[in-house]
A and B are shown apart, each in its own frame.
Chain A
Amino acid sequence: MTKTIMIVDDSITVREQLREVLESERYDVVEAECGEAGLEKAQECQVDMLIVDVNMPGMDGLEMLGRLRELADYQHTPAFILTTEASASLLKKGRAVGATAWIVKPFKRETLITGLRKVLGES
């Protein structure tokens, strides 16, 4: 069964780059441009994994992830943080809200695909 991955990033460029990579690997893609939209869409359709930016207008990615973890359906859904932020304190905050892994932009296609197959139990 095809897995669905949600991309939450305010940059159209990054969303399009990720969509191209994920669709070529036969994943379904859902997009959201901010934390609030990500929360809404996650409740509209069950997603299997998330790729989330940190700095976005309105609710940032870490806050969104923290709120998502309060929902029964998303307590254990893998979530990668993909961001320009790289400091140890933010990584710690990411761990606290249940992020699975952290990538500092730009992403490498092979690394991303290997990582998400691993957390989706496909490797």
Chain B
Amino acid sequence: MQLHLLLVAPAESAIAPRSDATADPTPHVLHSKNIGDATKLVQCTPMLAMVVIDPLIGVPDAVVLVDGLKKSHPDLPLLWIGEGWQDTVELEGRRPDGFIQADTDFDKLNDHARRLLRQQLYDSSTVELVRSSALAVLRESFCTVATAGEPCLKANRHTMAPVTAILSFCGPGISGQLSVSGRVEHLATIWRRVLPNRPNVSTDQLEDIAGEIANQTLGRIKAFFVAEGQPFDIGCPIFVRGDVVEIRYKSDRSSLLFSLQEPEGTLYIQFCFDTYDPSQRREENAESSLAPGGELKFL
């Protein structure tokens, strides 16, 4: 699982990335040395998973940063280095989500960040289910063979590309959203693959193709949960237009983000649970499902 971390720390901090860190793709680390830059980076980095704050930048500044980020990005996990946090600070309950000892190094920080995120994380079977469902839908329904990039955890639900379709789902102990984002030219290419005799395509149709990719992907995911005894209903799609649109959603769950790449472009699949309680699976609710792929079942 790929992580994009923002480290707010002075250059001399023990947890600043090593000089060879850029050669290591996991995690991707952005480094800011002051709260002004840090705030800007949070705004413009939609796939950020966590902010790590070293109070060596100055405790008052670090506290202001925690306060500001918890107000503006309540779903973005914050990790605080060392002992400088005072619970007596009056921030109306806004505080870091985790603490790590000051004598840590970058590798320990990486491990700790992963442990913290795992509390709200997607297990490997969920990751594989979303990945394989999306790839199969593209291949079988949309004549598109893509490869999935390393999955990322993303702290918000901002859109990743100018055309986005979002589908919500909800059932006992399970709810969330799945979205598909793509660029106009790429979605138009997919449309022409599917319908080569209808090359003229409108923005509405591009939104629709993103919506149908989302619908069929979520349908496959649903079949898995139905078989496990935790069914859910799928809602109507919401379409969003605009380069990177900030979507504010009151949930403390981060999103699972995949890029699905092919030479003509990249689609982004975001999947997130708002609630997920596997203990609400009921054997008596478990059902078989027809396999996708066009077999005709007479009733």
How many Å lie between the Cα of A32 and that of B292 in the bound state?
24
A114 to B288, CA, bound (A): 26
Tell whether, in the assembled complex, residue A89 and residue B141 are in contact, meaning their CB atoms are under 8 Å apart. no
Give the distance in Å from the alpha carbon of A94 to the alpha carbon of B297 in the complex: 11
Does B7 sit within 8 A of A, measured CB to CB?
no
B296 in the interface (beta carbon within 8 A): yes
Docked Cα-Cα span, A83 to B215, in Å, equals 9
CB distance from A85 to the nearest CB of B (A): 7
B127 interface hit (Cβ, 8 Å): no
How far is the CB of A92 from the nearest CB of chain B, in Å?
A: 9
Beta-carbon contact of B299 and A101 below 8 Å: yes
**Minimum Cβ distance to chain A for residue B181 (Å):** 16
A55 vs B5: C-alpha distance in the bound complex, in angstroms? 39
Please encode chain A, from 1 to 43, with 1 for each CB lying within 8 Å of some chain B CB and 0 for all others.
Answer: 0000000001111101100100000000000000000000000
**What separation, in Å, do the CA atoms of A100 and B298 have in the docked complex?**
6
Contact partner of B294 (CB less than 8 A), chosen from A13, A94, A111, is A111
A84 CB contact (under 8 Å) in B194, B198, B219, B295: B219
Q: Which of B219, B222, B294 contacts A107 (CB 8 A)?
A: B294
- Asked whether B184 is an interface residue with its Cβ less than 8 Å from the other chain, the reply is no
Does any Cβ of A come within 8 Å of B197's Cβ?
yes
- The 8 Å CB contact of B297, one of A12, A85, A103, is A103
Verify B298–A88 contact, CB threshold 8 A. no
Contact pattern, A 81-107, Cβ under 8 Å of B = 1, otherwise 0: 001111111010011000111111111
**Stretch in contact with the other chain, from B117-125, B204-212, B244-252, B272-280:** B204-212
B interface bracket (residues with beta carbon within 8 Å of A): 35 or more
Specify the main secondary structure of chain A where it touches its partner: mixed
Rounded to whole Å, the gap between the CB of B298 and the closest CB of chain A is 5
A115: interface (CB < 8 Å):
yes
A59 interfacial contact with B, CB 8 Å: no
Is B104 positioned at the interface, with any CB of A under 8 Å from its CB?
Answer: no
A114 surroundings in chain B (CB, below 8 A): 296
- Chain B residues whose CB sits within 8 angstroms of the CB of A115 once the complex forms: 296
The answer, yes or no, to whether B289 is at the interface (CB within 8 Å) is yes
Least distance between B259 CB and chain A CB atoms (Å): 22
Q: Which residue of chain A has its CB nearest to the CB of B204?
A: A12
Q: Tell whether A88 pairs with B288 under 8 Å between CB atoms, given A11-B211, A13-B194.
A: yes
Contact of B289 with A87 in the complex, beta carbons under 8 Å: yes
Does B61 sit at the interface, judged by CB under 8 A? Answer: no
**Chain B residues near A94 (CB, 8 Å)?**
299
Contacts of B145 in A (CB 8 A): none
Q: Mark A51-75, 1 if CB is under 8 A from B, else 0.
A: 0000101000000000000000000
The answer to whether B298 touches A101 (Cβ under 8 A) is yes
Q: A86 contacts B296, CB within 8 Å? A: no
Chain B nearest CB: distance from A79 CB in Å?
10
CA distance A61 to B33 in the complex (A): 57
Do A91 and B290 have beta carbons less than 8 Å apart? Answer: yes
Pick 28 A–B contacts, CB within 8 A, sort by A: A11-B211, A12-B208, A16-B195, A17-B194, A84-B216, A84-B222, A84-B292, A86-B289, A86-B292, A87-B226, A87-B231, A87-B289, A91-B299, A95-B299, A100-B298, A100-B299, A101-B297, A101-B299, A103-B296, A104-B289, A104-B293, A104-B294, A105-B141, A105-B216, A105-B219, A106-B140, A111-B294, A112-B296
